[in-house]
Structure 1
Amino acid sequence: MAAFQKLLVAALLAISYTSAFPATGQRAERHATRREVTVGTTKIDAYHPPSSLETFSGGIESPSSRTTSSLGDSAKAFVASRLSKSSGEVTFRSGYSGDVAEHAYLTQTHDNIPFANAVANVAFKDKKVVSFGHSFVTPKSINPSTPSVSVGDAITTAEKTLGGKYNNYPTKVEYYLTSDGTAVLTHVIQVQNDATGAWFEAFVNAHSGDLVSVVDFVADASYRVIPIQKQDPTEGFETLTDPQDSVSSPSGWHSTGTTNSTTTAGNNAVSYKSSQSSVTSQSSATLNFVYNFDATKAPATSPNLDVARTNAFYVVNTIHDLTYRYGFTEAAYNFQTNNFGKGGSANDRVLVSVQDSSGTDNANFATPADGQSGQMRMFLWDYTSPGRDGAIENDIVTHEMTHGVSNRLTGGGTGRCLQTTEAGGMGEGWSDTMALYLNWTEQKSSATPDFTLGSYVINNKAGIRSHPYSTSTTTNPYRYSTLKTKTEVHDIGEVWANTLFNVYAALVQARGWSATARTNPTGTEGNIVFLHLFIDSLAIQPCNPTFLTARDAWIQADVNRYAGANKCTLWKAFASRGLGVNAANHNDDTTVPTGC
C-alpha cells in the first residue's frame, strides 16, 4: 500500500488549474489571488490577498524622512501612514540599495507574528518614495497567537498530506489569511520529496492541525510540443576560454574565495548527476572541461554525461554573471555560497541535477528563500532514439535559471511571491523572455526574428510553445485579452513573454543595439535598457503581481533609471498587445498616455 501511495504521489504531484470561471471580473480576480494545487487526492486552494501597486513618478515624501531615518524606519512609517496601520502592525523584513533605487520589504504583523501572505514593498529614489506595492489585509477574525497544536504534530500532517519529508529547515509560526477573511495561526514547515522533486512550504493550522495552504517552490517548464530555440547541439560546440565575468564572479566559477575545485562545482553552482559528489572533473590541464559530444550515443554514456554537466554549469554561471551585472546581486538575494560581505544570505548556490531520475520530458527549478540553495532538475527527453538531454539545450537551462531570478527578486527574496495563477504564469513568461534575450544578445545585429523554444529535445522545429514569439499579430495573435481563455501557467506565460518580445523590439528599434550588453550595462542601447528594466521592475512590482501591476513596474523602473525617457516607447509596446492605460479584468485597451 505504501508503495502504491508513493507511486500515486509521483504520478499526481502536479499543479492543476480551474478550467472555467463564471464571469470576466471573477476570472481575473481568481487568476490574481488563487492557485489550486492537487497533491494525490488532496486539493488545496492556495489563497493570496489581492496585491496593488502605486507608482509616484518623481517621488513623494515619507512621514519619516529618508534623509534622517534608516531604510527600514522610513519604509515602516510610510506603510503605516498609507494604510492607516499602527507601527506595531508593520515589520521591516529586508531591504537593499541598488544602483538607482533602494528597496524595502515589509510584512503585516499581529502580536509580533508576521502574516505570510500580507506583505508590502517600498522603493525609494533620491530619498523619496517612488513606488509602493502591498497585499495588507483587514482580517474579519484573528486566531489566538499561541499554538495549541504542537509543531511535531503539524510536521506529521504536512508530511502525510504532501507525500514528502520535513527537510529540517527551521519551522516558523505565521498568520495566514484565508479567503473568508480569517487570520489563521499556522506552523510553517518545509516538506520535500527527492523522488519526485517536490518542494513545498506547508501552512498547518496551529489550532486545528489541518493543512491551510502551501507554497510550491518548484516552477516546472512543462514543455508541451510546439516552439524552438537555437542554442543547442545542432549549432555546434565551441571551446571558450575564461568565459567568467570577473566583476560578477571575482573568484571565478570554481572557487568560493576560500575553497577551490577542479570540477563542475563552485561559488554559484554545482552541476552533478544523482549526488553532489558525482560531478565532472577537469579533462586535462587545470580547469579544462573539454568533452566531445557524441550524438550517436545515449545521454547517460561517456562522454555525453560530462558534456551535460559541463554545459549546464556553464549556462547557470553565465546567467548568474549576466543578471549580476544588471542588479541581481548578493544584497538582492541572488544564489552564492560566499557573498563576500556584500549583503544577503549566503550558502545558497544553485544545485543543478542533470539527467535527474525524478522525471522525463521536463525540467524544473525550486526557489526557496534567500539562504537556501535553488534546486534545478534537468530531465532526459524520450522523443528520439537515442533520447536527448535538456541540459545541452541552452534555452531550457536558461528558462529554469530565470525562475530563480524572478522568484527571488519579486517580494524581497522569500520565494513566495509568484504563487497565484497569473503571477505564476508571468514567471514562465520571464523565463522564456530571458531565453529570447540571450539568443538576441548573441546575434550580430538589432534584428528581432521570430523565436521558437525547445526544438532540439523534441526534434521538431516547431518547438514546445503554441506559437512562435513574434511582433507579427498574424504569427502570434496573443494579447492581454487572451487570458480570458487561458488558465494554465505556461499558456499565460506565452502571453506575457510575447508582450515582452514586443517591448524588446520597440526599445531596440528606438535606441539601437549593443554588441557588448552582456558585460557592459552602462550603454543606452535598447537591449541594455530592456534588461535593466526587466531586472529593476521585478524588485518594484508587488508580491503576486498581475500583468497590469507588472506593466506599471516597468514604467516606474524607467522613471527611476532613465527619468522616463522611454515612457512612450514602453506604453506603445504594451498597448499594442492590449495593455494600454485603461486595460482591466483581461479586457484589451490600446490607449496610451497623452503626449504619446
Structure 2
Amino acid sequence: MALAALLAVPGLASAQNASPALSSALSQLTTQRAKLGLSAPDIADPAVTSSYTEADSKVTHVYLRQRYQGIEIYGAEADLHLDGSNKLVSLHSNFVANVANAARAAAAAPTLSPAQAVAAAARALGLAAPSRLDVLQGGEPAAGLKLSEGGISRSPISVKLMYQANASGELVLVWDVTIDDLKSEHYWNARVNAATGGLVDKYDYTISEPVSFAELTQHALATKNWPEPAVTNGVAAPNSYNVYPITVESPLYGARQVVVNPADPTHSPFGWHDTNGVAGPEYTITRGNNVHAYEDRTARNTPGYSPDGGTDLIFDYPFNQAAAPQVYQDAAITNLFYWNNLMHDYMAYKGFDEVSGNFQVKNYTGTGLGNDDVRAEAQDGGGTNNANFSTPNDGSRPRMQMYLWPGGTGSITAPATIAGSLPMRGTAYGRTLTAAGPISGRLVLADDGSANPPRACNPLVNAAAISGNIALVYRGGTCSTPTKIRNAQNAGARMVMIADSIPNTAIANYGGATDTVGIRIPSVAISKADGDKIRAVLTSGTAVTVSVSGIIRDGDFDNGVIAHEYGHGISNRLTGGPANSNCLGNAEQMGEGWSDFFGLWMTTKPGDQGYTPRGIGNYVTGAATDGYGIRPQRYSTDFAVNNQTYALIGTGAYTAVHAIGSVWAATLWDLNWKMIEKYGYNKDMKAKTGGNNVALKLVLDGCKLQVCRPGFLDGRDAILKADSIYNNKANTYQIWQVFARRGMGIDAVQGSSNSLTDNQAGYLIPTRVLASQPQQQRNELLELYPNPASSELTVRLPVSSKTPVQVSLLTLLGKTVQTSTVASGELQQGARVNISDVAAGLYIVQLHTSAGTFNRKVLIQH
C-alpha cells in the first residue's frame, strides 16, 4: 500500500502524518482486514482524516475513511490506536465490505456542479437560494472546494464529492455541502444526490438544549476551603475578572469574586487576550486566542458589543439580576468569556489539546489546525430557554449561543396551610411575566365540562368564576398547550398556571413552539405536586391566592450550562478525530451525557458528596439548589435518588437525546465518585493524581478510542480500553462495578448504535474480574437503599448465582432476625425486602450465593 496515495488529501501530508506510527497503523489495517470481513480492494485506498500522537503518552490515534476510486465514503470510517512502541492496541472499522459491488450502480461522475449542489442543498434545508457563489478555494471535487457565502451562510461553503450508502447498502454519489445558516442557529452538513439534487442525508453541527422535560458514612471531599484563584478585595487589579469562579455553578451556589491572572501558564501561556504567540495582548475586549465573547441580542450571528477592560485588562462590572439584561451585559459577557477560557485550559490537561483539535486562533505547538476559537454569543436573541453549540471540523470556528430564560417567581399567599414558595417557569406563549408586571389574585380550577375538566381542551364552562382571576389548568389531553391558554383567556383569565400531569419530574418547559397567535396573557408552568396541592384545597371550597412576578435569568451566569455546551465541542472533536465532527449523530449516542458530566465535574468542590442530588440548569429554570433542573432525574450515586439504567433507553421519555444522555451522565458521575473513593479528591483539578482527575481523563481518552457513532457499550469498552492503555488496567474492577450497576454489565447487549429498540440491559461483572478481588472489595458490590431504611429495603448485587440467593438480616452480634430467598436475576436489578417488622437498629445484610457471600451494613429507622 503506497503511503503517498494515503496522504493525497490536501493538508494531510504533514511530517507527523508520515511518521512510523502512521505507517505501522496502515500496515496493521492490512493485517487485520480478514478479521474485519474486508477484502484487499476494500482497504486499498483509505483517506487519513486525522492522525496525531500524544506528547506525554506517545499513544498515536489514526482515523481513516474508506475511499472507492479516489472518492471518500461518508459513514465508512475506521480508527486505529497504537502505543508508544507502535503496537496496535485498539481498532474499529465501519468500512463497507465488497465496496466495488456496493458501488456498481453508482454514477461515475456528478451531473450537478458544486454551485448547483449548494443550491439543491439550500432548497432541501429550507434556505433561501444562494445569490452568488464564487470559488474561493479550488481543487479536485473529491478533495473538496470552498465557495463564497452566497448570502445564505456566515462562512465559506465547503463542497466535496463523496459516496454515501443508502438504506439498502448501495453507494450513491453525493455532494457533501456545509452551510453555516445565516438566518438561524443551524450549521448544516448535508449530502445531496450528485445527479438529482435530492437530499440524501443531513447533520446539524449545532446541538441545542431545548427543555422538554456505600457504607453508612458516605465518602466526601476534604473540607478545606476551595483554593480560589487570587482574589482581590474590591481593589481593581490588572488582568482581573469579576465572575462566578470555578466550582461556583451559578448565583444559586455562591457569590461573584474578582479573580486575578487566571490564564493557565501552560495552555494559555500568553494570557487570554493573545492571538499571535508574542508577549502582550492583541485585544483589550473579551477576545483572545481561545474565545471571542460578545452580545448578540438582535440575533445577527456576527460579533456585537464586547466589554473593554482597557490596557490593564480590568473586567469588573456590576450585576443586578432584577435589572434589564442590557444593563448588566458587561458582567454577563465577562463571565461567559471566563468560563470558556476555563474549559479550554482545564480540559487541555486531560487530553483536549491542540493536537487533538481544541479551539484556538493560534496553536502554539504547531500541531492541529488553528483559526477556530469559540464565538461565544451572550444574551443571544435567537430564542429563549435554550443554549447551543456548533462544532464544525478542526480549523473552522465553533459557536456557542447562550440565551435568556424568561420565567417567574411566585408564592402561595393564602391559605396559611399551603402558603409559601411556588417554583415555576415561564412558557413560550403570550406575554412574558416581565412585560406583564407582577400579578396577584385568586386561582380558579378550570372546568371544560369534559371527563377531565382541568385539561381545558374545550371552552370553559366556569367562565364566570375564571374571569378576572388566574386559571389553573393541567397538562395533557387531546389539545395543545396554546389551546388551553386560549380557552382560559376567552373565559377572562388574567394568567394561566399549567400544572404538570407527570409526577416526580422537573417542571415542564413549554418552549420552542410558534402557535402563539392571539395569546395576550402570560402563562407559567408548575409541578404536578404543587398543582395537586392547590387543587385539593380548591376542591375543598377554600380560596387560594398567589403572587407572581416576572424575572429573566441569563444563561451566561449558569456555568454548568456553559460547561455543558462547551462539552459538545469536546466530545464531537475527540470522537472519530478532529477532522470528523459527524460521529455523534446516531440514535444511541451519549453527547448530552458527556456534556452534563463536564458541567458537574467543573462545579464539584471540597465538601461535596456523591450522593447529594445535583440538577442541571437549576439557575436558569428557577429551581432550588436541590431541584431537578432540566433532566428527568437528579444526578446522585444514591439509587434512591437516581435509579437510571441502560434498561430505560428506548422507553418512554428515554427516546429523546437529553434523557438518553442523562443515563450516560449518571454512569460517568458514579465513575467519578468511585475513583474519588479509591484515590481521594485532588483540589488541583489540573493534576494527574486524585480520583476526580483520573476519572475525567478516562472519559476523554475513551472518547478518542471509541468507534465513530458509538453506542453505550462502545463507550464502556473505550473507557476500559483507556484504563488498559494509560493505567495498566489499574481500575478495571471499579469501572465494571460502575457500568454493571447501571445496566451495562458483561451480559448487556447493545445491538445497533443506530437503534433504540434492540438493546438489553445486563448487570453482571465478568467472573474473572470478580474472582480477582478480595472479600472487602466484593462486599462493595452489594448495594442497599435507602440507607437508612424504614419499611422496605432494596438489595442489588451484580453477580450471577446458580442457586437462589439467601438474603439474611443479622444483628451486629451475628444473630439472624430475618431470612428470605430471591432469584439471582431479580437481585441484579434490585430486590425489595420488607423490613417493617424489624426493630430499629444497625444490622448486617448478608447474601449467600453460589459465587460467595456478601455483607453490608444497614441502619433501620421507623
Query: Which stretch shows the higher mean deviation, 552-561 or 97-106?
Result: 97-106
Are the structure 2 counterparts of residues 175 and 575 from structure 1 closer, same or farther at C-alpha, using a change threshold of 3 Å?
A: same
Q: Does 1:343 align with 2:517?
A: no
**Residue identity matched to 1:581:** I
Q: Does 1:76 align with 2:98?
A: no
Are the structure 2 counterparts of residues 283 and 386 from structure 1 closer, same or farther at C-alpha, using a change threshold of 3 Å?
A: farther
Q: Deviations over 1:251-297 (max 9, x none)?
A: 11100125611010000000011365434333466111001101220
Are the structure 2 counterparts of residues 460 and 446 from structure 1 closer, same or farther at C-alpha, using a change threshold of 3 Å?
A: closer
- Selected match of 2:119 from 156, 175, 181: 156
Q: What is the match of residue 334 of structure 1? A: 358
Summarize the alignment of residues 242-321 of structure 1 with structure 2, pairs less than 5 Å apart. Answer: 242-256=261-275, 257=277, 260-274=282-296, 277-283=303-309, 286-299=312-325, 301-302=326-327, 304-321=328-345
Deviation of the 1:82 alpha carbon: 1.9
Are the structure 2 counterparts of residues 494 and 277 from structure 1 closer, same or farther at C-alpha, using a change threshold of 3 Å?
A: closer
**Residue identity matched to 2:63:** Y
**Residue identity matched to 1:494:** S
- Selected match of 2:108 from 136, 145, 149: 145
Q: What is the match of residue 58 of structure 1? A: none
Q: Does 1:94 align with 2:50?
A: yes
- Selected match of 2:762 from 585, 589, 592: 589
Deviation of the 1:341 alpha carbon: 4.1
Deviation of the 1:223 alpha carbon: 3.0
**Residue identity matched to 1:398:** A
Instruction: State the alpha-carbon separation in 2 of the partners of residues 306 and 253 from structure 1.
Output: 17
Q: What is the match of residue 421 of structure 1? A: 587
SS of the residue corresponding to residue 386 of structure 1 reads strand
SS of the residue corresponding to residue 178 of structure 2 reads strand
Instruction: State the alpha-carbon separation in 2 of the partners of residues 379 and 206 from structure 1.
Output: 38
CA contact (8 A) 1:245 1:519 kept: no
Are the structure 2 counterparts of residues 314 and 478 from structure 1 closer, same or farther at C-alpha, using a change threshold of 3 Å?
A: same
Deviation of the 1:448 alpha carbon: 5.2
Instruction: State the alpha-carbon separation in 2 of the partners of residues 135 and 323 from structure 1.
Output: 29
Q: What is the match of residue 520 of structure 1? A: 687
Summarize the alignment of residues 10-21 of structure 1 with structure 2, pairs less than 5 Å apart. Answer: none
Query: Which stretch shows the higher mean deviation, 282-291 or 529-538?
Result: 282-291
Q: What is the match of residue 489 of structure 1? A: 657
CA contact (8 A) 1:80 1:90 kept: no
TM-score, with structure 1 as normaliser:
0.84
Instruction: State the alpha-carbon separation in 1 of the partners of residues 405 and 609 from structure 2.
Output: 33
Q: Deviations over 1:164-193 (max 9, x none)?
A: 335423311111112211111111111232
CA contact (8 A) 2:110 2:195 kept: yes
Query: Which stretch shows the higher mean deviation, 540-549 or 164-173?
Result: 164-173
SS of the residue corresponding to residue 81 of structure 1 reads helix
Are the structure 2 counterparts of residues 549 and 297 from structure 1 closer, same or farther at C-alpha, using a change threshold of 3 Å?
A: same
- Selected match of 1:383 from 380, 397, 407: 407
CA contact (8 A) 2:686 2:693 kept: no
**Residue identity matched to 1:452:** G
Instruction: State the alpha-carbon separation in 2 of the partners of residues 260 and 91 from structure 1.
Output: 38
Q: Deviations over 1:434-487 (max 9, x none)?
A: 0111122x3346655221111111211221111111112221111011103021
CA contact (8 A) 2:307 2:334 kept: no
CA contact (8 A) 2:646 2:760 kept: yes
**Residue identity matched to 1:403:** H
Deviation of the 1:119 alpha carbon: 0.5
- Selected match of 1:453 from 601, 607, 616: 616
Q: What is the match of residue 504 of structure 1? A: 672
SS of the residue corresponding to residue 668 of structure 2 reads helix
CA contact (8 A) 1:351 1:373 kept: yes
Q: What is the match of residue 538 of structure 1? A: 703
CA contact (8 A) 2:157 2:178 kept: yes
Instruction: State the alpha-carbon separation in 1 of the partners of residues 82 and 49 from structure 2.
Output: 16
Q: What is the match of residue 413 of structure 2? A: none
Q: What is the match of residue 398 of structure 2? A: 374
Q: What is the match of residue 178 of structure 1? A: 166
Instruction: State the alpha-carbon separation in 2 of the partners of residues 365 and 253 from structure 1.
Output: 21
**Residue identity matched to 1:191:** I
Instruction: State the alpha-carbon separation in 2 of the partners of residues 276 and 448 from structure 1.
Output: 43
Summarize the alignment of residues 117-266 of structure 1 with structure 2, pairs less than 5 Å apart. Answer: 117-125=75-83, 126-138=85-97, 139=99, 140-142=101-103, 143-164=106-127, 165-166=152-153, 167-224=155-212, 231-234=249-252, 235-256=254-275, 257=277, 260-266=282-288
Q: What is the match of residue 364 of structure 1? A: 388
Q: Deviations over 1:121-143 (max 9, x none)?
A: 11101311111122111255311
Q: Does 1:405 align with 2:575?
A: no
**Residue identity matched to 1:182:** E
- Selected match of 2:734 from 566, 569, 573: 569
Larger helix percent: 1
Deviation of the 1:78 alpha carbon: 2.0
Q: Deviations over 1:293-328 (max 9, x none)?
A: 0122021x22x1111110011001000001111111
Query: Which stretch shows the higher mean deviation, 153-162 or 135-144?
Result: 135-144
Instruction: State the alpha-carbon separation in 1 of the partners of residues 764 and 337 from structure 2.
Output: 45
Instruction: State the alpha-carbon separation in 1 of the partners of residues 693 and 611 from structure 2.
Output: 15
Unaligned runs of 5+ in 1: 1-65
Q: Could you tell me the percent identity over the aligned residues?
A: 33
Are the structure 2 counterparts of residues 464 and 533 from structure 1 closer, same or farther at C-alpha, using a change threshold of 3 Å?
A: same
Q: What is the match of residue 436 of structure 2? A: none
Instruction: State the alpha-carbon separation in 1 of the partners of residues 611 and 257 from structure 2.
Output: 24
Number of equivalenced pairs: 519
Instruction: State the alpha-carbon separation in 1 of the partners of residues 607 and 258 from structure 2.
Output: 20
CA contact (8 A) 2:611 2:638 kept: no
Q: What is the match of residue 602 of structure 2? A: 438
Instruction: State the alpha-carbon separation in 2 of the partners of residues 455 and 224 from structure 1.
Output: 14
In terms of Rg, which structure is larger? 2
Instruction: State the alpha-carbon separation in 2 of the partners of residues 546 and 447 from structure 1.
Output: 26
Deviation of the 1:376 alpha carbon: 0.6
TM-score, with structure 2 as normaliser:
0.58
Instruction: State the alpha-carbon separation in 1 of the partners of residues 610 and 195 from structure 2.
Output: 59
SS of the residue corresponding to residue 171 of structure 2 reads strand
Q: Deviations over 1:143-168 (max 9, x none)?
A: 13321222222111111121333542
Deviation of the 1:230 alpha carbon: 6.0
Are the structure 2 counterparts of residues 230 and 318 from structure 1 closer, same or farther at C-alpha, using a change threshold of 3 Å?
A: closer
CA contact (8 A) 2:610 2:637 kept: no
**Residue identity matched to 2:669:** F
Deviation of the 1:405 alpha carbon: 0.4
**Residue identity matched to 1:102:** T
Q: Deviations over 1:544-576 (max 9, x none)?
A: 111001100000100111100000010011101
Unaligned runs of 5+ in 2: 1-15, 34-38, 128-151, 214-246, 409-549, 751-758, 771-862
CA contact (8 A) 2:53 2:61 kept: yes
SS of the residue corresponding to residue 383 of structure 2 reads coil
Instruction: State the alpha-carbon separation in 2 of the partners of residues 415 and 131 from structure 1.
Output: 21
CA contact (8 A) 1:270 1:349 kept: yes
